[in-house]
Amino acid sequence: MPKRLLPEERQKRLEGWKLWQAERIQKKRKSKSKRDWRDAILNHLGRKCINCGRIEFLELHHIVPLKDDGEHTISNICVLCIICHKKAHKREFLTDDDE
């Protein structure tokens, strides 16, 4: 038969469980809001890679990287497929200046 907990021990476990539940709910809300934000941006910019036109495996790319003081705004974001996104980070795209 399980050992009965003292009221203080029981209260401590209950508080720990409530804290765990609150953290779990917060994580779910955060990930859902990030997904909603991404979907809203894709809908606004068009669900198509601006380089090759692919409509699947899309990612959001910061034109001016955040590490270079780029802003996290819609004017600094474009839609790329995963392949073109990798090329963009390797600087394999041709620009108008390169031609």
- What are the residue boundaries of the structural domains of the chain, listed by start? 7-45, 47-99
Mean pLDDT of 51-64: 93
- In the predicted model, is pLDDT for residue 94 greater than 70? no
The DSSP result for 29-80, as a single string, is HHHHHHHHHHHHHHHHH-SS-TTT---SSEEEEESS-GGGT--SSGGGEEEE
Distance (Å, whole) CA 65 – CA 99 = 24
- In the predicted model, is pLDDT for residue 2 greater than 70? no
For residue range 3-14, what is the model confidence (pLDDT) as tens digits? 777 788 877 777
Mean pLDDT of 38-46: 91
Give the residue carrying structure tokens 């539940």.
21
Cβ neighbours for 51, distance < 8 A, ≥ 6 positions apart: 80, 81, 84, 87, 88, 93
The pair of three-digit structure tokens given for residue 63, joined into one six-digit string: 């034109």
pLDDT at 30: 62
Mean pLDDT of 60-65: 92
pTM (predicted TM-score): 0.60
